[in-house]
Every structure is written in structure tokens, then in C-alpha cells.
Amino acid sequence: MGTIINGKELAEKLQQQTASEVKALEAQGIRPGLVVLLVGEEGPSQIYVKNKQLAAERIGLRSKVMRYPADVSELELLEAIETFNDDPAYHGILVQLPLPKHIDEEKVLLAIDPHKDVDGFHPLNLGRLFAGVPETIPCTPYGIMKMFEAYEIELAGKRALIIGRSNIVGKPMAHLLLAADATVTIAHSKTKNLAALAREADILVVAIGQGNFVTQEFIKPGAVVIDVGMNRDANGKLQGDVNFAEVEPLASFITPVPRGVGPMTITMLMQQTVEACRRQELGE
């Protein structure tokens, strides 16, 4: 039987710590601010942004959501980013992805002041992470590292397999695990004999976006299994990339979906907004 990593509980604890930091900053007349730019009126992004806004309010951040219609021009979006780059009230700027096809995502990410890029997606921040001198780290893999820390899961010398190679989850996860001295492999849709490869892993992180994909034949007994996936089944119910019922008895630690990785992602966003504020206001 595996220990179920309670991401929700850990997230609440860390958010309380961040809220105390916000209070301490306020006593010095400083209020950390986060602005979220949301394009379009439909899709899961609405829920993600709502949750981010609620968390920001809960911990006492100045929080603003800028909403734009789905047909907003790239130029208008870039100009808005420029305005917030120059606005000292906002220490963090987040553009909710994905963007509509007519907008160049890379151009938009590049326009954000890297010091205000609290999502850690700006190429400069990704480059810093890959070079081993991170400033802001993509929130999902960062939250997973906090889980390893909280549950005292040893990483040094362990074999880690990450399934999925996106810039926002898989690749930064690989670099964080590498920095923690794990021996890292990244798998993707062209990987051959994936289940056999996965059975060699002490640490398995799955971020592919396919419900219940990872079954018991992927698991080395005693492995640590982290499920990043957020998928909807036919009834609209949230489902991870890992078949929890099959895998949980084999794993030493496992994250559930929901109440696993998801709440940690938002928590790291809040924390990195406060850190960005400290750097901008106090030169830390």
C-alpha cells in the first residue's frame, strides 16, 4: 500500500506560510500584486484563472484579472503586457495558456519582463533553470519538488522517468530532478517499450494528458508515482494519467487526482509572486 501524497493539505500549509509573508511585507508598506491576462470566454482556462484569483485573494495579494475576447489582436495583448511590465503595483504577470491560434505564444511569453514572469515560462527563466541558476521555476514541477521535500523522498542516485516533454512540465521537471542528483530519462510519444522503461524507474512522473494511461505493468514495486494529468472522463469527472486503483498498491508514494499536483501548482504561483515582489521591492 502506497502513501497517498496529500497535495491539498500540503498546499494549504504552504499557502498559510505565504500569507504570513504577505502580512509581514504589508507591515513594511509593500503589497505583492499578481495580474492574470485571460483571452477568450470558454474552456478550462476560466476555471484555472478563477482558482488562481481565489488563492491570491485568500493569501492577501493584490490581484487583478484582465479579460480579453477570443479575437483580441496580438498587438493589443502585447501592449497590455508592456503596461503591466511598467506598473510597479504588479510584481507578477501571468498570461493564461493556451492562446488562440492567431496569437504567437512565444512572442507573448517573450514580451513579459522575465522578473515578473511568475509562471517561469519565459525562455530566459527556462534557460536559467537549465543552466542550474534558476530564478523563477515553472510552477507544476516546482510544486512536485516541494512534495518530494515534504514527504522526505530521497532523489539522489534514484532513477527517474518523466513521461511527457512539454516546456511547462516534462522538461523543467527533468532539470529539477537532475539538479537533485537523480538519473533522469525523458519519454514521449515516440518512445519504444515504454512500460518496460517505466518499470526501471524509482521515481515516475507522468504528464501526458491521457486518462488512466499508466497501469500496473508500468510500475516497479516501491516506485514513487506522480500523476500530473488532468483529464475529463466521459462523465466529465476529473481523471489523472495514472490508473490509481491499479497502481496505488504497488507504489511507495503516489499522488491522487484531484487533490494531488493541482493544488501545489497554484501554491507555487503564489509563492513565486511574493518572491518576485521581494526581489523588486527589497532587492533580495
- The catalytic residues are 52, 96, 119
Nearest to ligand NDP of 66, 194 (CB atom): 194
Cβ at position 82, least distance to ligand NDP in Å: 27
Q: Half-sphere exposure (CA, 13 Å, Cβ side) for 175?
A: 21
Nearest to ligand NDP of 85, 166 (CB atom): 166
Nearest to ligand NDP of 68, 218 (CB atom): 218
Cβ at position 260, least distance to ligand NDP in Å: 7
Cβ at position 218, least distance to ligand NDP in Å: 11
Interface contacts to ligand NDP, rule CB under 6 A: 140, 163-166, 168-170, 187-191, 194, 207-210, 228-231, 261-262, 265
Determine the Cα–Cα distance for residues 17 and 31; give it in Å rounded to an integer.
16
Nearest to ligand NDP of 44, 249 (CB atom): 44
Non-local CB neighbours of 119 within 8 Å, separated by 6+ positions: 94, 95, 136, 138, 139, 168, 269
Q: What's CA 15's distance to the chain center, in Å?
A: 15
Q: What's CA 270's distance to the chain center, in Å?
A: 11
Cβ at position 18, least distance to ligand NDP in Å: 17
